[in-house]
Amino acid sequence: MEILSTTALELLLAPVLYTECRLRENMEMFEDIPDDKSSLQCVICSMEHQAPVTLKKTSLGRHIKSGKHQKALTNAHHDGDQVNVQGRADTPSSLAPATLTLHLFDEDELDLDGQAGPAAVEHNPFADVFNDGGAYVNADGDEIHFSAGDEAPRQTVKEITAELQRIERNGSIDFARTVSDLDQFERTLEADTTVPDAILALETMGLGPDAEVDEDEDDEIAQLFNTSKQADNAWWPYPNQTWFMVDMMDHLPRKPISDDQMKVFLWVLQESKGVNVPTFTALRKFQTHAARQIGFRTTHHITALNNEYFANKPAELFRLNLANPLVRPQMRLYPEICGPVSEFFHSKKLLAMDDQTLDHGQLMWADWKHAPQRHFYIKEIALLQDGRFVIPLRFVTVRGIESFDGLELAYHSASPPAWVADMPHPVRKIACGRPAITMQLMPWSDDVSGNRTKQYNAHTNIYIANANLPHAKLQQEYFIHFVSTSQYASSSEQMRVIADDTGPNRWHTGYDCLLEQEVMYRIIPHVLPADNPQQAEHCSHITGKGNHPCRRCEVGGTAAECEQDQIYEQFFSGGTQRTVDTTICHIREQLRTACLGVQDAVDSLQTKTGVKDKIAQHWINILVPMARERQQLRLYDAQHKDARLRDMHLRQDERRVVHKDIKKEIQSELFTWLISQPEHTYAMLPPLSRVDKYAWHKTNTEWDKKNEELFSVRLRASSIDGLTLTSVLGDYITRYPNSLLGKHFKIIQQLAVFQLYDGVCPPLVFDLWKATGELGAMLWFHKIRDMETYIDDLRVLIANLLDIWAIIDPMRIIVKQKLHVLSHILEDIRRHGPALLYSTEIFECWNTIFRHCSIHSNHHAASHDIARTLADTERFKHQVSGGWWPLCKEDADSESTANRLQRRLGWVDPGLVVPGSVRLLSVNKRNPSAWSVARGEREVPLPVAQPIPYGDSDIWLQSKLSIAQSEDVCRAGSWVFYRNQSTSAICAGRIYAILTHLLTGNSTVIIDCFHVNLDRDSYFNMPVLYRPEAAPVSSTVDPTDILFSFNAQHHCRSAGCTEYFEQTVFQERQATSITRKDLVHKSDQLFLINMHALHNAARVREVLPRELTRPIPYVADRIAKHQEISAALRIAGPIKRAQARAKAAETRARNKESKGKGAVIRHREIPEPEYPCPS
């Protein structure tokens, strides 16, 4: 497969002729002549004749078809000579440009499914196409018209808006500037899709028919947006800096201000004689007007279940992304191949070659620097600079070079693909000269409390993220967008607003600040992550309440069936995959059953299939009573009874047949009525899961007080450097073991195994912790360099975890779906990329911002108030980021955005961290001293300096930290991997000191060197770091040679660390008389590399030998072990179920007896009291 650079494309629309050959990377055959821009030099012919061969650009086509050129091309191919491809000297053999042989196929020898073979060569009609003076002609000299978009640029939204502003000022428009006469103008209006854009621009200016007009709005507010003042006001559209600062304070996501607080703040400024302080009313009017100018509005929606909510439309949010100069350059529109898998745009899902994937990907490419108006679409004919005709099928990026995969054309008589009849590409006509962009969407939904108190205030939220952005950006709150919330509508109902804005045929218009022109864009949902309840709802699944508890596959059955060998094995490997069609069939069957009026039959179907759709359930609840009511009327009501039942001669069997027929008629009537109701969509979602809490519950529930205290003491003695943790929280974890959050489970997953040795937990539970820690670190990979090796390792680790759980509790994998769902994660990672990409942690963090808005809402129309507040926050973010909007004359300067404000809006720019840099301690702590003193106890020579060496009396300063190449912050005591300059080997060590030369400012790092043992520790299954006691070695390392930090734990089990000391307890930062026991580490020579650490898990495994990181299977013969376990289940299972039935019967009898006694007491006659007679 060759690689053809898209910069070589020149689009031609012509009859389709193709072969099954894929192309990549164009072989440059012609070079420009610097002194003569009208001529070219043919590289192939020059090589053939050993002399320069030049030709005019106008005769390029004829030269390519000439016998001289064809002979030179054939000889070059036979000799194995390849034209140099710029920047591709290091191309691996699997991607090297291959010699292309053109084969022609006839109908008998071409298999349209991909099996094709060479046939007898027929006449190729492209041999008769020539370039004559810049125009393409056939053999008869007739001109052939081709175009890739050379027409003049069309009006953009910015130009239209400028024209509308002129209308507003002058009251008229000169149509002669755009068209010559009225007829042509009318024809242009009919075909030009900019008319809706003009309407949109009118609405954004407040001139549309539906625009909200405040009759009492001050002229002063309206004049603020006068573009004539933009050049004179650095704070435009704000009147001055004070207005901007007040608006900024009102839109800090994590520092919300209520209306009353804002009024108090403005009052304080006014009383303090502040300058240019706005009133509260003027501020709110300004914000409303600014939102109207940007054209971003909150819209009202009614769901299929008649629930009402308000939403910020995804298309509008993505339109702001395109116009934001801080966001748009970060977007990656084309999928990338030939590299590590670490981003959404590296995933196999985007690189598939099926028609649906191709049609949902990027449809267009253009050379934006040299020919921005020439657009190339997939599934259209294109001409390469070397004269070959091709059809691009997809545009990709290969090591930074924009390329394409496609087909080369040749004549044959077989039937072409169906899309051939649609040439030119249908989107070309829709675009009307505008670029067409495809954007990927990742929505997320969850149920959240709108309160900060314990009282639960249920809201269901929808957030979205732009999947074209790198993962590092998507893990920051700035790039998460709020869509909607509702206390009434479910996530499935609210997802309708996303379905309305997305899809392959839903095109929107916006301004691209990178291309500086109007574009068309569409939004394709890429993946829908969610927690287990939301995923089950979106997948129309009943969760664990059915016989088939997995939302991904059909695994399961009755309790007895799950104990059989075959089905029990499927819990470890996965069953038959569910499909959308199958799910819809089950839902349809449930709806038809509901039309019979039997609720139990519907419930039985849901339990049997595991399918329960929330929308369908709404109609089931309507259909069952309706069916019963109609059956009652037509079967039993004397006035409305069916005429067939009035026949007194009907026998009992015949009457039953009539009853059955009438019920079927009612069923058909109700189902016909039902299918006329609104349609709904269903989606399958990939799972992510956590199993740490299962292991933690199994461990701490079996502890006594002694083991609990021992675990807490050991946990406090753990090192957290290299784990990105702020503290261990050991006392809290052991004191409240059943109230832990995600951050606590992260601590336990990474550190628990080092505290549970030697009797703190049973050996099998200890093995469970090892398997959990190894799997958790492997799932946290941020970059996968070798997908096959990674999948093989992950398969072993998942098998170990599931097998250990099966040995501990055979029923656990059946009743806990978070364990079974791990069997599906392999195919998800292979298709979508690292599991870390789909972590929902950032969305859950964003719930804090939502909760602030909920607290400050009016609590009468929460959905509307919250959506409007967060829409205005999007407006402010867009303005301060330098985003384009219709009234801007030019893009604002994003460089002026303060880093402090950017951070408070939820975006920390990692570019501020410079790898290899060093930060000094505060002045009072730098301790300037000579090298002999600064190096402390380490006997290390002065570092080598160029061109002037350091002197013994030179002054060195103590430094606080150094930045590694991975941008990790490394301090004294940090464990790092570094590159030894003398041997170029990667070594491990612990930083002793970071020193900076006083005069030159150059820095050096003193590192205590450790060696990695060739064998891993058999107990912990981790690599061992040791330092020879006879001759400990330290060395100086340049800060730029530090690669990354990692976590290492003291090998307390080997060193026998059992001594404790009394540590004073601090409360409220004050020392108390209370003490606690802390562990004393005996030796400083032996450590374990923490292979359960999440941070830099992939980097650690890359630098260590494969023998130290390869997973070891826990069970050799898994199938035999599973059959042994299931055999034991078939014995124990019936006994437990019989005991459960007996206990349930006993409980029912006891309840019945108690109810009977209560009834006797209630109906017992109470004698009337005897009262003394009055005297």
SS (H, E, C) 109-134: CECCCCCECCCCCCCCHHHHCEEECC
Please provide the size of the chain in residues: 1175
Nearest to 1093 by CA among 852, 748, 703, 728: 748
Calculated CA dihedral for residues 1091, 1097, 1101, 1102, nearest 10 degrees: -160
Query: Regarding beta strands 436-449 and 9-11, do their DSSP bridges make them parallel or antiparallel, or are they unpaired?
Result: unpaired
pLDDT at 128: 62
What is the chain's alpha carbon radius of gyration, rounded to the nearest angstrom? 37
3-state secondary structure (DSSP) of residue 1066: strand
Q: Which letter does DSSP use for residue 965 in this model?
A: T
For the residues 875-879, what does the mean pLDDT come to? 87
CB 61, CB 387: distance < 8 Å:
yes
Report pLDDT digits (tens) over 809-822. 999 888 888 888 88
Please, what is the end-to-end C-alpha distance for the chain in angstroms?
A: 121
For residue 1055, pLDDT over 70 is answered with yes
Q: What stretches of 701-840 show up as alpha helix (H) in DSSP?
A: 705-716, 730-735, 742-751, 763-779, 787-808, 812-815, 817-820, 825-832
> What does the alpha-carbon distance between residue 915 and residue 483 come to, in Å, rounded to a whole number?
38
- Rounded CA-CA distance 350/378 in Å is 15
User: pLDDT tens, 1019-1042?
Assistant: 999 999 998 776 678 899 999 999
How does pLDDT run across 429-463, given as a tens digit for each residue?
A: 899 889 999 999 999 888 888 887 778 888 999 99
Coil/strand/helix, residue 1132: helix
Alpha helices per DSSP H over 295-363:
314-322, 348-351, 355-360
Residue 1175's CB is within 10 A of a number of other CB atoms, namely: 3
Mean pLDDT of the chain: 78
Q: Is pLDDT larger for residue 214 or for residue 70?
A: 70
Spatial distance between the Cα atoms of 482 and 856, rounded to a whole number of angstroms: 16
Instruction: Provide the pLDDT confidence category of residue 77 given band limits of 50, 70 and 90.
Output: low
User: Would the pLDDT of 100 be above 80?
Assistant: no
For residue 413, how many other CB atoms are within 10 A of its CB? 12
Going by C-alpha positions, the residue among 748, 660, 339, 294 that lies closest to residue 511 is: 294
Cis? peptide before 237, omega within 30° of 0: yes
Beta bridge partners of 144: 136
408 φ, ψ to 5°? -90, 150
Q: Residue 1084 carries which DSSP code? A: S
Write down the pLDDT at residue 174: 41
Instruction: Point out which residues pair with 509 in neighbouring strands.
Output: 520
Residue 664 in this model has a pLDDT that exceeds 90: no
* CA separation for the pair 809, 273 (Å, rounded): 73
The candidate with the shortest Cα–Cα distance to 510, out of 295, 364, 310, 330, is 295
Q: What is the pLDDT of residue 181?
A: 41
Cβ atoms 611, 540 nearer than 8 A: yes
DSSP state at residue 232:
T
pLDDT at 348: 86
85-99, 181-195, 434-448, 625-639: least confidently modelled range: 85-99
Whether pLDDT at 156 is above 60: no
Q: Is 971 helix (H, G, I), strand (E, B) or coil?
A: coil
Nearest to 381 by CA among 24, 126, 117, 27: 126
pLDDT tier at 158, thresholds 50, 70, 90: low
Which percentage of the chain shows pLDDT scores above 70?
78
DSSP label at residue 1059: -
Residue 222: the pLDDT is 59
Q: What is the mean pLDDT of residues 9-23?
A: 34
Side-chain-facing half-sphere of 991: CA atoms under 13 Å: 34
CA 571 vs CA 561, 606, 764, 823: distances in Å? 12, 20, 21, 8
Instruction: Using alpha carbons only, give the angle 800, 806, 807 rounded to the nearest 5 degrees.
Output: 90
The pair of structure tokens assigned to 778 is 């492997």
Which element (helix H / strand E) includes 1069? none
CA dist 333 to 236, 301, 362, 468, 521, Å? 32, 31, 7, 6, 11
Confidence (pLDDT) at 712: 84
Whether the Cβ atoms of residue 1043 and residue 915 lie closer than 8 Å to each other: no
Place 134 in a pLDDT band, splitting at 50, 70 and 90. Answer: low
Q: Are strands 336-337 and 389-398 parallel, antiparallel or unpaired?
A: parallel
Per-residue pLDDT at 247 exceeds 70: yes
- 368 Cβ partners below 8 Å, 6+ apart? 515
Which pLDDT value is given to residue 133? 58
* Lookup: tokens for 794: 């992950």
In Å, the largest CA–CA distance within the chain is: 148
Residue 987 pLDDT grade (very low, low, confident, very high; cuts 50, 70, 90)? very high
Query: Taking Cα atoms as reference points, which of 799, 806, 699 lies closest to residue 752?
Result: 699
Residue range 382-387: mean pLDDT, rounded: 81
Confidence of residue 123 (pLDDT cuts 50, 70, 90): low
**What would the mean pLDDT of 499-511 be, rounded to a whole number?**
92
CA distance 364 to 395: 8
Tokens of 946: 């160029």
| Residue 25 banded pLDDT, cuts 50, 70, 90 | very low
Q: How far apart are CA 301 and CA 254, in angstroms?
A: 28
Phi-psi region of 295 (alpha: psi -120 to 50; beta: other; left: phi over 0): left
Query: How high is the pLDDT of residue 574?
Result: 85
